[in-house]
Amino acid sequence: MADTSHRHGKRVTRITEVTHPLDPLTEGEISQGRSIIEAAGLITDTVRFPAVLPVEPDKKATFAWKPGKPFDRSILYVLLDTATGISHEVVVSVTDEKIVSQTKVKSDEHPYGQPPYLFEEYERVEALVKAHPEWQAAIARRGITNVDDIFCAPLAPGYFGHEDEIGRRMIRSLTFLRDTPDDSPWAHPVEGLLVTIDLTKGEVVRVQDEGDVPTPTVSGNYDVGTVGPARESLRPLEITQPEGPSFTVNGSLVEWENWKFRVSFNSREGLVLNQVTFTDKGEDRSVLYRASVPEMVVPYGDTSINRYWISYFDAGEYLLGKNANPLVLGCDCLGVIHYFDGVAADDHGHPMVVGQAVCMHEEDYGVLWKHTDLAGNPDSRRSRRFVISYFATIGNYDYGFFWYLYLDGTIQVEAKATGVVFNGAGVPGSHDPHAHEIAPGLFAPVHQHLFSARLDVAVDGLDNSVHEVEVVGVPTGPENPHGNAFTYTVNTLQTEGGRLANNPALRTWHVTSGHRTNYTGASTQYQLIPQGYPVLMAQPESSVAKRAAFATQHLWVTKYEPNEMWPAGMYPNQHAGGAGLPEYVAGGDSIVNEDIVLWHQFGPTHIPRTEDWPVMPVDYSGFLFKPFGFFDVNPALNLPDGANSSCTCCGSGRCGTDACTCNHEH
């Protein structure tokens, strides 16, 4: 069951009682599982919960499940003893009310790896840094006296094999000044000052202090008091649906036009879409079994002491879902909105609700198809798309993850990167090959935002293959006597592995059904169309290339295995590398007519601009998953004239230009 309430005119759903195996975790389940762990004596004053995640149900059992039949619900709790630094994975069946397994996390053994950070550790970092005499001396030497408002950022340290770091729960901290408690710290980086901390021992391991670059004094604030009154030239733009939206919500199940899917949410991935189908001639045809963006890495291209080590894994180190935003009507979402609350767990393993974490609505998207015939009669239909989205804030950056479903069967995934760029300091007017001066003395390093989408595909079933399709020119000769010919090639990927995009050849990847054909006799397919932006720019021998190997390819294809969920492995924090996709493809299993998973890497390579300061306009990136021979004809032929817009004569005459009246001339 679900609690669907009205909050200030908005509909909001929170799953409170599970009725389907793929429903998200509820508050009650998280509390119940924690109680089982507590009853087993596994919780002490120093034990915390850096991760609480659903255990994915068996796929074949889920496909075969019928309403009313029983099913198991299990939860993975990662328990960290902050006094010893030792962690355990504890799997609890809340259905059977018992602990299923308990496994030590091998953080002290090569290749290491630590659980994600706790919220409480962020505050602890600042206290430890500010109490250390070497840091105090470095601040005093720079003539800084207002210590109270200084911000000490808690930052994942990467992995570099330092003897005093390996196998220990570490974190680094950079220092940022603030003129007032509300001042933007990102405008005032203290260059050349780096603090490394052992969180378990609660001690500063080292303070590195290099150089005396002046701290920039430029403002980083963008409030009304700083930028002045808002412009008054924009007139209101209203989006109304007088008859209500075209979608329905029943628990976690959402239906819109021909689309059906289930919404889920967890603390690491955030938004998850399950069992995505499209109704064609009365049949619900499968497209995706499960889809999410389970990891991303933000590697920096700077060689300075403050930033050479930066390569944040915002899901695996910080938890995207746990950092999700409560979305606001009229700001984050516009139109007739339906929200889902997100449920995660706090540092103590108690349920933590992110209100209105997931937003859903419809929006107009221009013309879907149009033709004016030889007699001059126009016929067109308007496009509309269904939007499912959430935002997460990790430190200085904000990320929006948007899934768009279109009336013609297309799926689009879009990441929106915004927030405040991460800065260093330099001599005003100087040149830095690894950072661009975006304000006087403020240098923003070059960096990347590389997202990994996990598409557990099920195109007309689970017997899928991948065809790599490219366009190629035909050399002038007998096969191309006039020089104008070109064609395309189809290469079936045989075994697990990675592939790069090839934009000049329009390389796409087609997921094909092993048994179903369309009315031309060809296999039904969906094609993944990449943007083809750069993959990881770091050198192969670098630490980040080993830890974020998933980001070295645009596409990986693996044979489905239930425990292969994370592109960089379960614990990328301080991991030496090689986990995740390199391990998943090591067996070289066949991926022809198999249950397969596509992992697609995408995202911007950012050379910051002055226009990105003091807050960055959205940088868009993503990809399309588009039907290719999946349908026999255009599936949007039966849309109504004007798609129920204010003008409804698009196929019966000519719309007037003033009041959208119809001219019925035949």
Whether omega before 475 lies within 30 degrees of 0, making that bond cis, reads no
**Terminal Cα distance for the chain, rounded:** 54
Report d(CA 622, CA 490) in Å as an integer. Answer: 24
Give me the active site residues, please: 314, 397
Residues 170, 197: contact at Cβ < 8 Å?
Answer: yes
Residues 598, 458: contact at Cβ < 8 Å?
Answer: no
Q: Report in angstroms the alpha-carbon separations of 4 from 249, 434, 619.
A: 9, 50, 34
The per-residue b/e assignment along 604-641, b for 16 or more CB within 10 angstroms, e otherwise, is bbbebeeebbbebeeeebbbbbbbbbbbeeebbeebeb
Cα angle vertex 360, ends 336, 636, to 5°?
Answer: 90
Report d(CA 223, CA 340) in Å as an integer. Answer: 30
Q: Report in angstroms the alpha-carbon separations of 203 from 45, 133, 303, 401.
A: 20, 12, 26, 37
Secondary structure element (H or E) that encloses residue 137, with its range: helix 133-141
**R_g over Cα of the chain:** 27
403 beta partners: 388, 413
Reference 470, options 440, 491, 484; nearest CA is: 491
Q: Report in angstroms the alpha-carbon separations of 304 from 153, 464, 573, 607.
A: 17, 47, 21, 17
Q: Write down how long the chain is.
A: 666
Phi, psi of 37 (to 5 degrees): -65, -40
Residue with tokens 């719309």: 655
Q: Report in angstroms the alpha-carbon separations of 206 from 137, 169, 203, 376, 558.
A: 13, 14, 9, 77, 42
Residue with tokens 């980086």: 189
The tokens describing 664, both together, are 């019925």
Q: Which residues contact 479 (CB under 8 A, 6 or more apart)?
A: 485
Report d(CA 86, CA 463) in Å as an integer. Answer: 42
Residues 566, 512: contact at Cβ < 8 Å?
Answer: no
Report d(CA 191, CA 169) in Å as an integer. Answer: 25
**In Å, how far from its chain's centre is CA 55?**
20
Strands 397-406 and 411-419: antiparallel
The per-residue b/e assignment along 15-34, b for 16 or more CB within 10 angstroms, e otherwise, is beebebbbbbbbbebbebbb
Q: Could you count the other beta carbons within 10 Å of the beta carbon of residue 167?
A: 16
Strands 253-256 and 247-250: antiparallel
DSSP state string for 116-136: PPPHHHHHHHHHHHHT-HHHH
Report d(CA 73, CA 618) in Å as an integer. Answer: 38
